[in-house]
Structure 1
């Protein structure tokens, strides 16, 4: 009987220990982050993970997927933290999730971002050092592209120009396609939605190296906008009604927020308090991305470099004792 009782006791202890290690509405051991597929979210993940692991003692993991899949996982609690949620790109989904109380906005990571159609600045101004003459000196707005289809020739259709759009799986690609139609640019340009971000970059890099004209979608903060001299084409001032009707304005102001699942404040209150203080900027984010590209390193290494360079920024987000633990780990 004693042996059986000891066996039952040990079994019960193992079971209870296992249960205590799993996430519930009131406790958590592993905090899961969303990776929706771009470098800046990976850098912000790594910064936050370092602080949470070294300063607060939690384990962390990253779950990768499309924006739609990771946002759904955040709503369901399979992901706990979303460091870079571009709210306007998924406005309806985001607002519904907030209204239903499934997710909570912790802070605005940065709000000085930009997105739209870019051209290399030498297209407008030329580049004396490279011996490049300006080929579209009067190009200022998206609508002005109608004057220059022959400048941005589609290599597969010599009767039209080519606009490189956003990846086909991104919501913003639909917005751009509508915008092109609204301005009548589809009569003179073919809109090409590539399969990935890397395809856009490859197209831009190839044209830039040769000093050739190029027009396409991009956004900041990225290492691309930090490294290449690009000009964002102007658009009509943002008007919500017009935007909803035909996308005939500049992109809406896009708060990029840090969002958490509704249960996280109960599971890790101190972590949420840290995330509520998390705030960077377009420039600060691009610092890390430019370092990442120039040194051919992964996001976690760029994040550590950034934290050493900008200690005055992140130490304001956490109590002094937490900051000391993190600095010691770095």
Structure 2
């Protein structure tokens, strides 16, 4: 074969490099789809990660809405690529997809996260400063709720109490509905689903500020935990077999159990894990101290700050936290962008 003229070789190399560069640029401009999480800690974490991915690594991102379960299904199909706050192992949809190698939980992003059923402390102990008398002085466990349904009287069905559940579409809504049956409370309490995480938060906050008893499901990290004195009701110890009956909405005989010990991670699709190794490495290092996170969430809630603005403020205020996740070059780019 004859040797190609130098000019032609150079031209071919130039075309090849341009084509490669164009392909890389196009890939960077193809958005990475994040799940549009509606609860506060999930929204904040989503925006923190998006800012780092965009400013530090140069990738475009966007968000797609959906319920918890529908987002997990979409993740398995790679219709979305990232769920920034995944309570891994909670739902059958996640477990099935994880076992099939379709989704992966990266890191341990918030240590000491928790969830359960709560009441304000004044319901049990009263509050002399506010002139509130204890209405359920012996309330300690979920079983004790059988005696106190009228304390938490439902305004629409006054013969029953009201339990504030998660919004429909959340994995925890299914679990809480099954727990009401397991604890023999489904005939005594109205299973009230709030329209959104914000609506649940608003109703709980309003009741506490007015000194009214309220029984509700809640979780941490959240601003609510830092703002009010709450008591978590005791449940039977965690039991794996019982937990399976609680996550299965069709199980007619659910068994009582504390919820699965919380492990918050970043959920990613199998395709994302293969395509973006540098982001996977960064995601595994994400560590949000729960006290700092709760304070940020409380400020975001009190100031009615959009999650993106709160995320920018978090990155400005706590470089010592997030710089530990990134290589120096990417950290410098994020800092410059702020």
- TM-score where L is the length of structure 1: 0.86
Query: In 2, Cα distance between the equivalents of 1:202 and 1:140?
Result: 25
Picking from 244, 251, 257, the partner of 2:259 is 251
What is the aligned partner in structure 2 of residue 129 from structure 1?
Answer: 129
1:89 is paired with a residue whose SS is: coil
Runs of 4+ with >6 A deviation: 14-19
Cα–Cα, structure 1 residues 217 and 39, in superposed 2: closer, same or farther, change >3 Å?
A: same
Query: In 1, Cα distance between the equivalents of 2:30 and 2:176?
Result: 42
Return the offset for 1:28. Answer: 7.1
Q: How does 1:1-330 map to 2 (within 5 A)?
A: 23=27, 29-90=30-91, 92-245=92-245, 246-330=254-338
Cα–Cα, structure 1 residues 99 and 290, in superposed 2: closer, same or farther, change >3 Å?
A: same
Query: In 2, Cα distance between the equivalents of 1:41 and 1:118?
Result: 21
Return the offset for 1:30. Answer: 2.8
Cα pair 1:124 1:136 within 8 Å, conserved? yes
1:286 is paired with a residue whose SS is: helix
1:163 is paired with a residue whose SS is: strand
What is the aligned partner in structure 1 of residue 4 from structure 2?
Answer: none
Query: In 1, Cα distance between the equivalents of 2:191 and 2:94?
Result: 28
What is the aligned partner in structure 2 of residue 3 from structure 1?
Answer: none
2:219 is paired with a residue whose SS is: strand
- TM-score where L is the length of structure 2: 0.84
Cα pair 1:238 1:249 within 8 Å, conserved? yes
- Structure 2: 5+ residue stretches without partners: 1-17, 246-253
Cα–Cα, structure 1 residues 222 and 259, in superposed 2: closer, same or farther, change >3 Å?
A: same
1:252 is paired with a residue whose SS is: coil
Return the offset for 1:293. Answer: 0.9
2:136 is paired with a residue whose SS is: coil
Return the offset for 1:211. Answer: 0.4
Return the offset for 1:115. Answer: 1.6
2:141 is paired with a residue whose SS is: coil
Query: In 2, Cα distance between the equivalents of 1:254 and 1:151?
Result: 30
Cα pair 2:38 2:196 within 8 Å, conserved? no
Query: In 1, Cα distance between the equivalents of 2:70 and 2:147?
Result: 40
2:238 is paired with a residue whose SS is: coil
What do the CA deviations read for 1:82-138 (whole angstroms, capped 9, x no partner)? 211112331x22222222222222212224222221111111122232222222121
1:98 is paired with a residue whose SS is: helix
- Structure 1: 5+ residue stretches without partners: 1-13
- Aligned pair count reads 314
Query: In 2, Cα distance between the equivalents of 1:260 and 1:21?
Result: 22
Return the offset for 1:290. Answer: 0.8
Query: In 2, Cα distance between the equivalents of 1:52 and 1:157?
Result: 49
Query: In 1, Cα distance between the equivalents of 2:337 and 2:23?
Result: 30
Cα–Cα, structure 1 residues 244 and 16, in superposed 2: closer, same or farther, change >3 Å?
A: closer
Cα–Cα, structure 1 residues 186 and 88, in superposed 2: closer, same or farther, change >3 Å?
A: same
Return the offset for 1:248. Answer: 0.6
What is the aligned partner in structure 2 of residue 7 from structure 1?
Answer: none
Query: In 2, Cα distance between the equivalents of 1:89 and 1:99?
Result: 13
Cα pair 2:115 2:219 within 8 Å, conserved? yes
